[in-house]
Amino acid sequence: MTQKCSFLLILCLSLWLLQSCVSSRAVAHMIFYNNSDKEAPIRLSITKNNKNNPNKVILHTIQPGLQELKVGSFAKGAYSVTAEAANGNLVVTKPVSLDTERWIILNYTSADSLSIQKKYGYVDTSVLKKVDGRFTGIDIYSENRRPPSL
C-alpha cells in the first residue's frame, strides 16, 4: 500500500512540475526612447491575437531620453502592441511574439523638419505625420535579448 501511495505521490509531483514548466509566462519590458525635446503622453495596449480586449493598457508620459518600464508577465503567444500618441492622431500597431523574455522598443520622434534632416539626413514623410507643426512618428520593434546600451 505504501508503494502505491509513494508512486502516486511521485506521479502527482512530476505532473505538477511538468505543468508549471509548460505554463511559464513570458516577461515583457518596454524601452522608450523619446527623441524630442518635450515629454509626450503615450497610450500602450498589449492585446493577445484573436481577442478584442487588451490584456494590458499602459498610460505613460515619456520624458526626453531613454527609459525602461517593466510591463509584466503574459501567457506565451502572439500579441499586438499598439501605441497611440498626439491625442490619438498617431497610432502604430506591431505584432510581437511573447514566447520568452522580450524587450519591446518604442522610438518616439517629434521635431521640425530641419532638426530631423540634420540628424538623419532626410525626412521620411511616409513614417512621420505632421502634428502641431512638427513631424511626429512612432516605431516599435522587439528584441529577445536585452539591448547592450541599457
Sign of the torsion formed by the C-alpha atoms of 5, 7, 13 and 16: negative
For the chain, domains (ranges, CATH) are 25-143 (2.60.40.10)
Length of the chain: 150
pLDDT, one tens digit per residue, over 70-94 is: 888 888 889 999 999 988 889 999 9
Contact 90, 104 (CB under 8 A): no
Please tell me the distance from the alpha carbon of residue 118 to that of residue 69, in angstroms, as a whole number: 30
- The cell for 28 is 515583457
For 50, other C-beta atoms within 10 Å of its C-beta total: 7
> What is the C-alpha separation between 29 and 31, in angstroms, rounded?
7
**For residues 61 and 85, is the Cβ–Cβ distance under 8 A?**
no
Give the pLDDT of the chain (150 residues) as one tens digit per residue: 577 666 666 755 565 555 555 456 788 889 999 999 999 999 999 999 888 778 889 999 999 999 998 888 888 889 999 999 988 889 999 999 988 889 999 999 998 888 888 888 888 888 888 888 899 999 999 988 887 776
Question: Grid coordinates 539591448 are at which residue?
Answer: 147
Q: What number of other Cβ atoms are within 10 A of residue 140's Cβ?
A: 19
> 20, exposed or middle or buried, with CB in 10 Å at 0-12, 13-18, 19+?
exposed
